[in-house]
Amino acid sequence: MAARARKRKGARKLGAWLIGARGSVATCAAYGLAGLREGLIEPTGLVTAREPFAGLDLVAWDEIALGGHEVCARRLTQSAGELVRQRVLPADLVTGAAPHAAAYEERVRSGLLDAADVGVGDLDPEAARRGSLPPREALEALSADLAEFQRELELDDVVVVNLASTEAQRAVNGDGADLRSLETALDAGRSQPASVLYAYAALSSGMPFVNFTPSPGASWPALRELAREKSVPHCGNDGKTGETLVKTALAPMFLARHLRVLAWQGYNLLGNRDGEVLADPLHKESKLKSKGDVLRSLLADPDLKAHVGIDYVPSLADWKTAWDFVHFEGFLGARMSLQFTWQGSDSALAAPLVIDLLRLTELAHRRGEVGEMPHTASFFKAPLAGGTHDFHAQYRALLDYAASSAGS
């Protein structure tokens, strides 16, 4: 990884720009951050609040200011109300954090509707207009919002985090193959996925980008090149929060004991807006791709029967249920099985990781690190730097990074 030292500033103020600003994960991150700041909640679920990460020179809760892009007209308080009814956000936190939430809402700007998502309910007309602009004009609008956020709040740095709905899978074309091809495509007015335009706006403004979604974001070679050119760190893709987290912690055990996994069938039942979006086959395809590759690669078996099913069950709301059935073989050919059921609040699992990634990304930028941030692999289903999916090995890499960063 290339590295270039950046001048260290004294007092720090980090801007966190959340794309999908009024979605469930963004709402939980915003109220959670306010709660941490006011001492209303414990930092449970935050990796960076534990040693040895707590000993690093990371931004404090009260050094982070929020803003973001959205395409829906729904207010943040409505999203919070939904999450209170679903027993995810505590009602007293919503009351206690109200002034912070109001300040955040004021800094939410109209985003860029992805072309494939036209037809979304409660759509902000300005986001639809931006989505129909030629890509260079859309980029200008996004970059202006980022620059205004940084200037008005006098922020030392801004980290852009993609928490928008998963985009529909698009046919691969050559536009993302390298930076020159992408620039040519943008000049020619060829439309690109919104996540790619958000990543381009961030990186070209010298701002780090975190892609918590399975959408392409900064994963195309063209964007990786842009990040290197601008000396910016970035990480992604697709937060590893639930079933995949358990899978990548358990699968190495079968390998270590030389037990042969014959089949690993997983079924996810989702009831939130994310689940509703994933009910569409083209959007589901993006998610299944980042979930499906993990086990075959971990168990070094390209032919493994590993199915992942996703069904939308509205009554479950934010409480995702995943049921996994693992069929495996031991000595003497004895066939056995393991089953587990995971029932988690998707947003409560994701939000603290978003705050962790903000802090780690700001640190990486301040330390002059450039590129895909391999030490963040444990946070993602499809880590940009590649490498093993083994959660334990990924976590060791994060510990090594912390050891090498101590005191810097």
Ligand X SMILES: NC(=O)c1ccc[n+]([C@@H]2O[C@H](COP(=O)([O-])OP(=O)(O)OC[C@H]3O[C@@H](n4cnc5c(N)ncnc54)[C@H](O)[C@@H]3O)[C@@H](O)[C@H]2O)c1
With binding defined as CB under 6 A, does residue 175 bind ligand X? no
With binding defined as CB under 6 A, does residue 105 bind ligand X? no
Stretch that binds ligand X, among 52-60, 161-169, 305-313, 391-399 (CB under 6 A): 161-169
Sheet bearing 157-162, strands edge to edge: 108-110, 64-70, 14-19, 157-162, 209-211, 234-236
Q: 64-83 mask for ligand X (x: CB under 6 A)?
A: -----xxxx-----------
Stretch that binds ligand X, among 17-25, 146-154, 382-390, 398-406 (CB under 6 A): 17-25
Radius of gyration of the chain (CA): 21
Per CB under 6 A, contacts with ligand X among 107-126 are: 111-114, 117
With binding defined as CB under 6 A, does residue 269 bind ligand X? no
Q: 276-295 mask for ligand X (x: CB under 6 A)?
A: -x------------------
290 token code pair: 């980042």
With binding defined as CB under 6 A, does residue 165 bind ligand X? yes
Residue 163 has phi, psi (to 5 degrees) of -125, 25
The three-class DSSP label of residue 157 is: strand
Distance CA 372, CA 161 (A): 14
> Can you say whether residue 319 is alpha, beta or left, with left for phi > 0 and alpha for psi between -120 and 50 degrees?
beta
Distance CA 26, CA 161 (A): 9
Distance CA 308, CA 214 (A): 15
Alpha carbon dihedral 184, 111, 20, 286, in 10-degree steps, equals -40
**Residue 347 or 405 with smaller CB distance to ligand X:** 347
Contact 227, 233 (CB under 8 A): yes
Judged by CB under 6 A, the residue of 349, 357, 370, 398 near ligand X is 349
With binding defined as CB under 6 A, does residue 350 bind ligand X? yes
With binding defined as CB under 6 A, does residue 273 bind ligand X? yes
Contact 107, 22 (CB under 8 A): no
155 token code pair: 């922020």
Judged by CB under 6 A, the residue of 175, 238, 324, 369 near ligand X is 238
Residue with tokens 């700001």: 362
**Residue 79 or 405 with smaller CB distance to ligand X:** 79
The three-class DSSP label of residue 400 is: helix
Q: 187-206 mask for ligand X (x: CB under 6 A)?
A: -------x------------
With binding defined as CB under 6 A, does residue 209 bind ligand X? no
Per CB under 6 A, contacts with ligand X among 375-404 are: none
**Residue 27 or 204 with smaller CB distance to ligand X:** 27
Q: Least CB distance from residue 346 to ligand X, whole Å?
A: 4
Cβ count within 10 A of residue 337: 10
Q: Tell me how many residues contact ligand X (CB under 6 A).
A: 34
Binding site for ligand X (CB under 6 A): 19-20, 22-25, 69-72, 111-114, 117, 163-166, 194, 212-213, 238-239, 241-242, 272-274, 277, 346-347, 349-350
